[in-house]
Chains A and B, each alone.
Chain A
Amino acid sequence: MTAAAPAGTGTIDTDVHCAPASLADLTPYFEPYWRTYVLEGGVSLSATQGLAYPPQAPTTATPEAREAGLTPARTVGDLRAHVLDPQGLRAALLTCTASFACNRNPYYEAALTRAVNDWMITEWLDADDRLRAGMVVPTLDTEAAVAEIERIGDDPRVVQVLLPTRTDAPWGNKRHRPLLRAAAEHGLVVGLHAWGRVGNAPTSSGLTHTYLEDYLANSQTIVQAQVASLVTEGVFAELPDLRVTLLESGFSWLPTLLWRFDKDWKGVWREVPWLDSKPSDVVRGHIRLTTNPAHLPRQATQVRQALDLLDAKAMLLYSSDHPHDHGTGHDRLVAALTPDERDAIFAGNAAEWYRLG
């Protein structure tokens, strides 16, 4: 987590978190009805983002970020002073997942995501030209999500549609297709980011007692089901220009998933006739993964093997995941990279993937 490129190298960081300090920050961007709804209903933004980031958990913030009060960054000034300037970043993709843990009111979710987007554009993108953003959309109302993409998706600083990985139906499901199509038509990457709606159990069989089990579900099960869904349902056959990034969801699990996926497809391809090439080829053509968390082995030779199995140079996009702190894995990743891999992962891949020019 701590390893970033030295200043001045033109690094592109694809996952930098920011969030409003409270709903009060979003008040200017709400219609009057929703201001009243928030006020009278006692509605607030979850302090843990729906249990995703317990404030005192070591994973929630690095000591440096905690010291600076960036848990995550609340203002562009703070981000500039503590991240953008000292690290010499060429560009940073802002991730605001504050709306992920929304309640179940679909109309409120539409209002909240719209407010987050307007707050992001006005207070962040307008303030620093190094910033790019993932826009958020309502997850319970596909028409409203499409409308929101139509509304702001052509802003060149908006490069991604952020979706939570924890969902009522996986993103490949037919019901979500207009949303994905709108993203593809606007040239936006779809970013599937860890976590999701409050109260949505992480496992097939329900809630977990420990945060550790909840946290690991992001990388070890949930995101993998999303990949299987997108490929199996033929999303990329229908939308050949669609690009998907998996954020804060790990990456070292990908090779073994693809071996299983290819083998099963060879056995039951009749079920999904629209899937006319190996799932691994589809994934490698349409999906990229961010580098944090980097769950890697302890031995350097095994790290190298894991990166080769993945084809890390082609598949990874550097992310600090600021301010989150996933431990020492990212240091092991960086130590294993060749100079060419480092250039690709820290800058070239993201510039190309997000069309940053």
Chain B
Amino acid sequence: MSNTAVAEAAGRTAGKPGYTIVDADIHPSAPAAEIRARLTGDHLARWDMFGSRVPGPPEIYPRVRNAGFRLDAWPEQGPPGSDLRLIQDQLLDEFEVDHGILIPLQGHSWGAEEPEYAAALCRALNDWQRDALLGPEPRLHGSIAIPMESPDLAAEEIALRADDPRFVQILLSTGGELGFGRRRYWPIYAAAQEAGLPIAAHTGGLEQHRGAGWPSFYLEEHVWNGNMMAALILSMVSEGVFDRFPDLQVICVEGGIAWAGPLMWALDDAWERLRTDVPHLRKPPSEYVREHFWFTTQPIEEPDDPGDLEITLGHVGMNERIMFASDYPHWDFDSPRHAPRVFPAALRTGIMGANACRLYGLADRAAEAVR
């Protein structure tokens, strides 16, 4: 499809999109030297001797080609996502992205290290985000990486960054040592609510498979991302997180969306039968889901008939809470120019930016024009 046709299909006016573009999932990656330079004392010694003890998911399920990255995303030095110039060239400038939300996945593994070391690593990662990306490039907004398995220290990191408007959310994974609804993690949610920041739960973290057993292939693991996200929702809702933290907002990043409808049907049916088991839930669980969760688009489900996606999003009933994401610089990158074709026409402006502007309090091009 030519660019002209795409522009028409996506409802763009000549050249410039008629809507604000917010990319809710951009992966920066800090070069090792930049982290090392920000460590001292015992933590530096541990870094040099032991590195990271938490295995990253690609060690268990290798990404089939080019280590899981876009072929063209490697800067001359360092890993994809480490070079601001390339992020600007390939993403922000290329697609006229108004706002980009950074999700540094190194925090997923580092957040589960020995507690004090985890806190030091996450602090270094957040400082690097600020120094290397957020400071020089105002279109980018950061996520606070946290030592999630040491929630008291995580709360300290959140409080430290709460007054820095360049950080717009708190980064959580979907794979914790326990289900993220557990009370053990509640200090994180208390700090988030206090800071007025949403939690972004991005696919990944600790790789464990205790229900059906360990799969063998990346294909299975990638399909499982949606199920891990469903498990996160089940855990947070059934443990009563949202009764305790009524203002908390949680974004499901990179887990798909369409499964949430069937999940809510199952939740409501089960709740009707099992209210004695969850007396703290005061209304059908689907209402908690619709009041507290958000979704990002990449990798959105793509049925053969796009009309089926529209039907399914109707079942989910959360169209105002869906946000575009490119997943740059990963292999399954969704282009801000082409992706809107997949979204129902009536939802494009909201998904491409307006919904995210509302959640994060970002400037909305359309709203500015009206003013």
- Chain A positions within 8 Å of B, measured between CB atoms, are 57-59, 165-170, 172-174, 200-206, 208-213, 215-217, 219-226, 228-229, 232-233, 250, 252-253, 255-257, 259-265, 267-268, 270-272, 293, 295-298, 302, 305-306, 309, 325-329
Distance in Å: Cβ of A60 to nearest Cβ of chain B: 10
Q: In the bound complex, how far is the Cα of B258 from the Cα of A302, in angstroms?
A: 14
| Contact call B312/A309, Cβ cutoff below 8 A | yes
Distance in Å: Cβ of B92 to nearest Cβ of chain A: 25
Q: In the bound complex, how far is the Cα of B273 from the Cα of A325, in angstroms?
A: 8
**Which residue of chain B is the closest to A166 with respect to CB atoms?**
B211
| Contact call B178/A215, Cβ cutoff below 8 A | no
Digitize B163-177: 1 where CB-to-A-CB distance is under 8 Å, 0 elsewhere. Answer: 000000000000111
Q: In the bound complex, how far is the Cα of B209 from the Cα of A169, in angstroms?
A: 9
Interface size on B, residues (CB 8 A): 65
Distance in Å: Cβ of B70 to nearest Cβ of chain A: 12
Given contacts A170-B212, A203-B179, A309-B311, contact A253 B262 (CB under 8 A): yes
Query: Which chain B positions have C-beta within 8 A of A210?
Result: 238-239, 274, 277-278
Supplied contacts A259-B309, A309-B311, 15 more A-B pairs, CB within 8 Å: A170-B212, A205-B231, A213-B179, A213-B238, A220-B263, A221-B228, A226-B212, A228-B220, A229-B215, A232-B217, A255-B308, A257-B226, A268-B218, A293-B266, A296-B269
- Chain B positions within 8 Å of A, measured between CB atoms, are 63-65, 175-179, 182, 206, 208-220, 222-224, 226-228, 230-231, 234-235, 238-239, 256, 258-259, 261-263, 265-274, 277-278, 299, 301-303, 308-309, 311-312, 314-315, 331-332
**Which residue of chain B is the closest to A259 with respect to CB atoms?**
B301
Query: Which chain A positions have C-beta within 8 A of B238?
Result: 208-210, 212-213
Number of A-B contacts (CB under 8 A): 231
Query: Which chain A positions have C-beta within 8 A of B217?
Result: 232-233, 271-272
| Contact call B266/A225, Cβ cutoff below 8 A | no
Given contacts A204-B175, A229-B212, A272-B219, contact A216 B265 (CB under 8 A): no
| Contact call B222/A252, Cβ cutoff below 8 A | no
Distance in Å: Cβ of A50 to nearest Cβ of chain B: 14
| Contact call B218/A253, Cβ cutoff below 8 A | no
The one of B256, B273, B331 in contact with A256, judged by C-beta atoms closer than 8 angstroms, is B256
The one of A172, A208, A213, A328 in contact with B269, judged by C-beta atoms closer than 8 angstroms, is A328
| Contact call A215/B212, Cβ cutoff below 8 A | no
| Contact call B211/A222, Cβ cutoff below 8 A | yes
Distance in Å: Cβ of A301 to nearest Cβ of chain B: 10
| Contact call B277/A211, Cβ cutoff below 8 A | yes
| Contact call A228/B332, Cβ cutoff below 8 A | no
| Contact call B315/A305, Cβ cutoff below 8 A | yes
Query: Which chain A positions have C-beta within 8 A of B63?
Result: 268
**Which residue of chain A is the closest to B228 with respect to CB atoms?**
A204
Query: Which chain A positions have C-beta within 8 A of B231?
Result: 203-205, 217, 220-221
Query: Which chain A positions have C-beta within 8 A of B213?
Result: 167-170, 173, 225
| Contact call B269/A261, Cβ cutoff below 8 A | no
**Which residue of chain A is the closest to B308 with respect to CB atoms?**
A309
Given contacts A228-B220, A232-B219, contact A302 B272 (CB under 8 A): no
Distance in Å: Cβ of A342 to nearest Cβ of chain B: 21
Q: In the bound complex, how far is the Cα of B218 from the Cα of A57, in angstroms?
A: 38
Distance in Å: Cβ of A307 to nearest Cβ of chain B: 12
Distance in Å: Cβ of B343 to nearest Cβ of chain A: 15
Query: Which chain B positions have C-beta within 8 A of A262?
Result: 302
Q: In the bound complex, how far is the Cα of B297 from the Cα of A263, in angstroms?
A: 14
| Contact call A203/B269, Cβ cutoff below 8 A | no
Distance in Å: Cβ of A315 to nearest Cβ of chain B: 14
Q: In the bound complex, how far is the Cα of B277 from the Cα of A303, in angstroms?
A: 27
Given contacts A212-B277, A268-B222, contact A256 B211 (CB under 8 A): no
Q: In the bound complex, how far is the Cα of B241 from the Cα of A213, in angstroms?
A: 14
Question: Quick one: which of A202, A257, A271, A325 has the most chain B CB within 10 A?
Answer: A271
The one of B234, B312, B331 in contact with A216, judged by C-beta atoms closer than 8 angstroms, is B234
| Contact call A259/B261, Cβ cutoff below 8 A | no
| Contact call A204/B210, Cβ cutoff below 8 A | yes
**Which residue of chain B is the closest to A223 with respect to CB atoms?**
B212
Distance in Å: Cβ of A294 to nearest Cβ of chain B: 8
The 10 closest A-B pairs by CB, nearest first: A295-B266, A225-B212, A259-B301, A169-B213, A256-B258, A201-B210, A213-B238, A221-B227, A253-B262, A252-B262
| Contact call B234/A217, Cβ cutoff below 8 A | yes
Distance in Å: Cβ of B313 to nearest Cβ of chain A: 11
Distance in Å: Cβ of B179 to nearest Cβ of chain A: 5
The one of B234, B266, B303 in contact with A255, judged by C-beta atoms closer than 8 angstroms, is B303
Query: Which chain A positions have C-beta within 8 A of B269?
Result: 293, 295-296, 326-329
The one of A259, A265, A298 in contact with B303, judged by C-beta atoms closer than 8 angstroms, is A259
Q: In the bound complex, how far is the Cα of B217 from the Cα of A172, in angstroms?
A: 11
Q: In the bound complex, how far is the Cα of B219 from the Cα of A267, in angstroms?
A: 9
| Contact call A252/B265, Cβ cutoff below 8 A | yes
Given contacts A257-B223, A295-B269, contact A271 B64 (CB under 8 A): yes
The one of B177, B178, B265 in contact with A296, judged by C-beta atoms closer than 8 angstroms, is B265
Q: In the bound complex, how far is the Cα of B363 from the Cα of A21, in angstroms?
A: 66
Distance in Å: Cβ of A115 to nearest Cβ of chain B: 26
| Contact call B266/A219, Cβ cutoff below 8 A | yes
**Which residue of chain B is the closest to A233 with respect to CB atoms?**
B216
| Contact call A216/B267, Cβ cutoff below 8 A | yes
The one of B208, B219, B299 in contact with A205, judged by C-beta atoms closer than 8 angstroms, is B208
Query: Which chain A positions have C-beta within 8 A of B301?
Result: 256, 259-260, 263
| Contact call B211/A202, Cβ cutoff below 8 A | yes
Query: Which chain B positions have C-beta within 8 A of A293?
Result: 266, 269
| Contact call B274/A212, Cβ cutoff below 8 A | yes
| Contact call A212/B265, Cβ cutoff below 8 A | no
| Contact call A220/B219, Cβ cutoff below 8 A | no
Distance in Å: Cβ of B219 to nearest Cβ of chain A: 5
Distance in Å: Cβ of B266 to nearest Cβ of chain A: 4
| Contact call A203/B273, Cβ cutoff below 8 A | no
Question: Quick one: which of A165, A201, A268 has the most chain B CB within 10 A?
Answer: A268
Question: Quick one: which of B214, B231, B239, B256 has the most chain A CB within 10 A?
Answer: B231
**Which residue of chain B is the closest to A176 with respect to CB atoms?**
B213
Given contacts A293-B269, A295-B269, contact A225 B215 (CB under 8 A): yes
Query: Which chain A positions have C-beta within 8 A of B311?
Result: 305, 309
Q: In the bound complex, how far is the Cα of B257 from the Cα of A228, in angstroms?
A: 18
Query: Which chain B positions have C-beta within 8 A of A59?
Result: 270, 273-274
